[in-house]
Amino acid sequence: MRKNIAICLLLALLLAACGSPAGYQEVPTITSPEQYLLNYPEADIIIGEGGTFFVESTRVPWVMNSLDLTDATAAGEVQRSGIQEAFRPWDATILPEGTEIMRHNGENNVMVARVNGLGRPYLKYMPHS
Query: Mean per-residue pLDDT for 45-74?
Result: 92
The C-alpha torsion from 86 through 92 and 98 to 99, rounded to 10°, is: -160
Half-sphere exposure of 17 (CA within 13 A, CB side): 6
Q: How confident is the model at residue 126 (pLDDT cuts 50, 70, 90)?
A: confident
Query: What local confidence, expressed as pLDDT, does residue 37 receive?
Result: 93
In angstroms, the CA 101 to CA 54 distance is 11
More confident residue, 51 or 92: 92
- HSE-up of 76 (CA within 13 Å, CB side)? 15
DSSP H helical segments within the chain, as ranges? 2-18, 33-39, 61-66
Greater confidence (2 vs 115) lies with 115
pLDDT at residue 100 greater than cutoff 70: yes
Pick the more confident residue, 114 or 4. Answer: 114
Q: What percent of the chain has pLDDT over 70?
A: 77
Is the pLDDT at 20 greater than 70, yes or no? no
Q: Which of 75, 109, 93, 74 is nearest to 36 (CA)?
A: 93
